[in-house]
Chain A
Amino acid sequence: DTEVTQTPKHLVMGMTNKKSLKCEQHMGHRAMYWYKQKAKKPPELMFVYSYEKLSINESVPSRFSPECPNSSLLNLHLHALQPEDSALYLCASSLILAADYNEQFFGPGTRLTVL
């Protein structure tokens, strides 16, 4: 199984809502990533977990809260988002955080719209 799955595929939320994005992989990878991607732009790294511990936070606003409950699951909790947070949110995983040919496997993303 070389797949990263993400749910939901689409999410529409108001600025006062609380919602969560979910990511799952069963490849035994110990590094998991959250990216944000705007249209026609490259993915922007948000957070990296290594062995279920937060290793990298790219100065992301606190309205985004990541969680890694176990080695296969990664969540992104959303609260009080702004319309400019509307984007494709991508999850990725890799074998470990720093390694030769550190291939990152991406999920299909969650298309988020904030009204």
Chain B
Amino acid sequence: QQQVKQSPQSLIVQKGGISIINCAYENTAFDYFPWYQQFPGKGPALLIAIRPDVSEKKEGRFTISFNKSAKQFSLHIMDSQPGDSATYFCASGGTSYGKLTFGQGTILTVHP
């Protein structure tokens, strides 16, 4: 089974700091890379997504960096806030597959 490896498992950041979560994928046919945010007791919600034809995508404080040759992508959260404390999942998929393969998740805690 194709895997998506996510690190770190947990991350503690001070308010105003930068949070960085990394993912690596195996299947070169993947062409869709979303990040999901999940709060306790809620379903995951799409945060930001990228296609491999660009190396970076920014939406507000959230940026995805993508390295196609290394088969890696990362999420950067600038000016991290306590409200960002949640579990973050990277995922990979292909437009021909429909399915998403999720990473194991990162529990982010932002201290005030």
Identify the interface centre among B42, B51, B100, B107: most chain A CB within 10 Å of its CB.
B100
Interface size class of B (residues with CB under 8 A): 20 to 34
User: Are A101's CB and B93's CB within 8 A?
Assistant: no
Docked Cα-Cα span, A4 to B51, in Å, equals 25
Closest-CB distance, A4 to chain B (whole angstroms) = 8
Within 56-112 of B, Cβ neighbours of A (below 8 Å) are at 87, 89, 93-100, 102-105, 107
Question: Which residue on chain B has the smallest CB distance to residue A98?
Answer: B98
Interface contact tally, CB-CB below 8 A: 60
User: In the assembled complex, how far is the CB of residue A17 from the closest CB belonging to chain B, in whole angstroms?
Assistant: 24
User: Which chain A residue shows the least CB distance to B96?
Assistant: A98
Using a CB–CB cutoff of 8 Å, the interface residues on chain A facing chain B are 4, 31, 40-43, 45, 48, 50, 55-56, 90, 92, 94, 97-109
Q: What are 15 A-B contacts with C-beta separation under 8 Å?
A: A40-B87, A42-B104, A56-B98, A94-B98, A98-B95, A98-B96, A98-B97, A100-B32, A101-B32, A103-B46, A104-B46, A105-B46, A106-B36, A109-B42, A109-B43
